[in-house]
Amino acid sequence: MSKSHKDFLSVLDFSKEEVSVLFKEAARLKKEGKQGGAGSLAGRTLALIMQKPSTRTTVSFAAGMAQLGGTPLILNSQELQLKRGESLSDTARTLSQYVDGIMIRANKQDEIEELARFASIPVINGLSDKEHPCQILSDIFTLWEARAGGKIEGLKGMKIAYLGDGNNVAHSLILAASLLGMEISVASPKGYEPEKEFVQKGKVTVLADPLKAAAGADVLYTDVWASMGKDEEREKRKEIFMPYQVNAALLAAASKDARVMHCLPAHRGEEITEEVMEGRQSIIFEQAGNRLHVQKAILLYLLKDL
């Protein structure tokens, strides 16, 4: 099926040049505040399909769409016939006649790809089991602002150490680092490493030793040890992952002015200590705030000229 529009299903759906354009647009929108881009998407509607709950993804996309003059429709499983077995292909073909774009937080990447295959409008991956591209684009934008002088080439060679579960966040981070010339090390317990598919796509060093990964790093990044859908493993994982906690000792192994990142929500005292999360090197809440501006830039890029 030929397409006259662009989807954002994976970090690699954008080129380095497109990422640079998005970051500059996000910076402009951020500078202009809530009025940034006002009216740009007037008359446009975005469907937000929420198979999984969220704070930052839902609110940043909904608020961003509203600030751009469009209308967000937040749809959970109870409000769609997906709950009763309607196929994603039928849902895509129907919604394409009602709205101008779809953002979906899905259980599986395959579901997002099926939706996009049958939709005649842009589809955005708000999270899947494989990737979390909107999150990571916002995270890298935060580093672009804080450490790269607002230049895409300023990211080259920056060293990221990701510590913990080799999950969807780790996967998208690996792809983004490879795309933008950053260095990345992932330290995970045996059996919890990133999937080979993503290790092979990116340029990443996978380690078992968190101190080796953190050594000299410019950024320490972590996430919850038990992602959504794995809550029953939380107690088991606490013991396995405790050596990977981002704490003062691990931060001391990084570069002197290293930044600390977390995609949130955080379990303080587990994957990250209160001291580090609230410390002067933390840019965690800058990350969270930037979700709004980058989401708005993505929406404009995908929807404005349809």
Write out the catalytic residue numbers.
105, 132, 135, 223, 263, 291
Assigned token pair, 61: 């996309």
φ, ψ of residue 51 to 5 degrees: the values are -75, -25
Compute the C-alpha angle 239/285/283, nearest 5°. 80
Q: How far is CA 235 from CA 112, 230, 238, in A?
A: 30, 11, 5
Q: Does residue 72 have a cis bond before it (omega within 30 degrees)? A: no
Compute the C-alpha angle 142/144/145, nearest 5°. 65
Q: How far is CA 143 from CA 99, 204, 261, in A?
A: 33, 19, 10
How many Cα neighbours within 13 Å face the side chain of 58?
Answer: 13
Alpha carbons 197 and 182: distance in angstroms, whole number: 19
Alpha carbons 229 and 209: distance in angstroms, whole number: 26
Contact 155, 23 (CB under 8 A): no
